Amino acid sequence: MIEVGVVNNLLVERVTSEGFFLKGAESEENVFMSMASAPADTVKGIKVDVFVYTDKSDNLVATTRIPKAIAGEYALMSVVTSKEFGAFFDWGFDKDLLVPGNEMKVKVQCAEEHVVRVCVDEMDRVFGTTKLGEFIENSDFDIYEDDKVDICPVQKTDLGYRCIINKKFIGMIYTNEIFVPIEIEAVYQGVVKKIREDGLVDVALQVQGFKNLLSSKNTILEYLESVGGKSDLDDKANPADVKKALGMSKQTFKRVIGMLFKDKKINFTRPGIELRLKSEVEKKKI
């Protein structure tokens, strides 16, 4: 069966002067892919991954160009044209995505950016919606707490950054847990902190718990090596200075330097810390 609005792996069954006819593994249904939409090495008998959608005449067509989001996914999209009946959004595709007027949470204007969910109607037409509440509340989660996920920040808020997670879920990174510069629409690796009852997901960029402490140990030791073995930072340091130098919270920094001291990896110099090996070498030279 050929599915509309998603990526299908289809067989090139027939070649014509205008393009290719593709067929599903368990279906006699065909979909057309033009020469312009196909890779140069496309030949009869191979399988290709294609995005399937309907053209202006409601005919099924395929292309190897994949949009920013497929059916069931979210993406940050900009408004190309706003009309009375709806608006067209740029979703990184040849054909702009229509968000009908009755699928808009608020009236949109050209050049605005909004989070859009891609959907397919009963006529197999692909459309978008900015009314996300129902989809968020009814999220079918295939992720769990502590899972590694792709996090795409899409909007800065008073609490932090609203994010799209694995393209399929909406959530937040909170300001007090951000220790690196954030760029809108960049994709970061992170972990799931909590899946909330309202369908939203709390995520963090750093690994949580004990794994975070182990990672932070290495970060501090590498930092000390890079600055000659000594630093003015210690448990009395300004939190902003710790965040700028190490990309971690003051709380994590204090816990980790305590662990490093117990491990005999660093000494406290009051103020500051230094690599223990370096200090011991200097003492031997004296």
Same domain, 197 and 160: yes
Domain boundary among 20, 43, 63: 63
Please enumerate in sequence order all residues whose Cβ is within 8 A of that of 276, keeping only pairs 6 or more positions apart, or say none: 264, 265, 266, 267
Cα 118-201-144 angle, rounded to 5 deg: 100
Residue 285: is its pLDDT beyond 50? no
Residue 230 lies in a domain: yes
Q: Between these two residues, 31 and 181, which has the higher pLDDT value?
A: 31
Please enumerate in sequence order all residues whose Cβ is within 8 A of that of 247, keeping only pairs 6 or more positions apart, or say none: 179, 180, 219
Residue 275: is its pLDDT beyond 70? yes
Tracing tokens 């200090």 back to the chain, one arrives at: 279
Which residue, among 256, 262, 209, has the nearest Cα to 234 in the 3D structure? 256
Residue 212: is its pLDDT beyond 60? yes
Residue 283: is its pLDDT beyond 60? no
What does the pLDDT read at residue 210?
58
What are the E-state strand segments in the chain?
7-15, 19-23, 30-34, 47-54, 60-63, 74-82, 86-90, 97-100, 113-120, 126-129, 148-156, 160-165, 169-174, 188-195, 201-204, 230-231, 266-268, 273-275
Instruction: Give the CATH number of the domain where residue 255 resides.
Output: 1.10.10.10
pLDDT in tens, 72-126: 999 999 999 999 999 999 999 889 999 999 999 999 999 999 999 999 999 999 9
Same domain, 237 and 258: yes
Residue 68 lies in a domain: no
What does the pLDDT read at residue 281?
43
What does the pLDDT read at residue 29?
86
Same domain, 59 and 23: yes
Residue 136 lies in a domain: no
What does the pLDDT read at residue 255?
86
Counted domains in the chain: 4
Same domain, 262 and 277: yes
Same domain, 218 and 274: yes
Residue 86 lies in a domain: yes
Residue 279 lies in a domain: yes
How confident is residue 284, by pLDDT bands cut at 50, 70 and 90? very low
Residue 2 lies in a domain: no
Domain boundary among 185, 204, 223: 204
Same domain, 78 and 55: no
Residue 37: is its pLDDT beyond 60? yes
Same domain, 220 and 196: no
Residue 282: is its pLDDT beyond 60? no
Average pLDDT of 154-171? Answer: 97
Residue 1 lies in a domain: no
Domain boundary among 169, 204, 239: 204
Residue 69 lies in a domain: no
- Residue 45: helix, strand or coil by DSSP? coil
pLDDT in tens, 56-65: 888 999 999 9
Domain that holds residue 53: 7-63
pTM for the full model? 0.77
Mean of the per-residue pLDDT values for the chain?
91
How confident is residue 178, by pLDDT bands cut at 50, 70 and 90? confident
Same domain, 281 and 262: yes
Residue 211: is its pLDDT beyond 90? no
What does the pLDDT read at residue 208?
56
Instruction: Give the CATH number of the domain where residue 192 resides.
Output: 2.40.50.140
How confident is residue 286, by pLDDT bands cut at 50, 70 and 90? very low
What does the pLDDT read at residue 272?
93
